[in-house]
Structure 1
Amino acid sequence: MKKIYIVRHCEAKGQSADATLTDKGYKQATDLCEFFCDIEIDHIITSPFVRAIESVQPLANHLNLQIVTDNNLKERVLSSDNFNDWLEKLEATFNNHELKFEGGESSAEAGNRIITVVEGIFNSNHQNTVIVTHGNLMSLLLRHFNESFGFKEWRSLSNPDVYLLENRDNKVTFKRLWRGPSCL
């Protein structure tokens, strides 16, 4: 059985690729490290965005594991335009996976990026992998394995958040593990 822990990054100062974690986000990264301290991890792969790397750096240091970055895990671009109603536009892409706005990716395109990463891990020698990514991509991945995971569930994600994907005999299931610092 292979396990993949899908992690949404900790609280950040913004949405740009170079946005760092907030003070609270750095504390959350420490909480994540503590959360994983009794879980066997043999591989860490993350979005190249600074907030994703910083979210898992304490864990990588603790486990003495190299962080591997993968552009397929970067934040989804909804559009190159700034929409005042971006939340409604995002919701529309959950209802129509092929809907694509100027300069952006459809849900199908963005979802395929993270699905490719997960399939690669399932076909690798790694048994217990942590993937750090962004909320929208995380939601699209979870929806791939269970169509009932949609816009409402995306809105309920926290920063950070952790879901466990388990692949048993090519049947993939997932469950939410993160309950915040009180789970430690």
Structure 2
Amino acid sequence: MGDFWVFGYGSLIWRPGFAHVETRRARLYGYRRSLCVYSFVHRGTRERPGLVLGLDRGGSCIGLAFRVPGDLRDEVLSYLRERELVTGVYLERILDVRLDAAGGGETAEAVAYIVDRAHEQYAGGLDANHAAKVVRGAVGQSGRNEDYVLSTVEHLKALGIRDHWLEEVGRQVARS
């Protein structure tokens, strides 16, 4: 099989962790970046959950698409499944993304991980104040929840990607 794309919208943007030969800014329609997943492993525990990002229905999301050589398909998908499907809160999908490029961009299919709204870890749509309260003080196997949120905001801004709601959560978390 040929090369394939992986869509990143959160920590995959700043820590993909897999080999790729090209990175392009991309937009996924029909889903939005949302701090809508209670984290029981990476950024919290079952006793003190944190919050991590998910792709939730509605709107659109600007992120990065990573082109992976076809000969690395099994290795990269295995890595992503181990990373993203730990508790089953995400569903692996192949979705169309719009790659930004000179001349208006093109559409490509990309592996993406969307939130399962029926899963116990689905937090739904929280307001920024409530989200910041959940994030503050939560720690999991991958570190402090505050670091995850602030790093994501910082990396999105560096790429010129604005996410006003997430930025507000970051401001509230940074104030504490």
Normalising to structure 2: TM-score of the pair?
0.27
Point out the structure with the larger helix share: 1
TM-score with structure 1 setting the length? 0.27
Higher strand share: 2
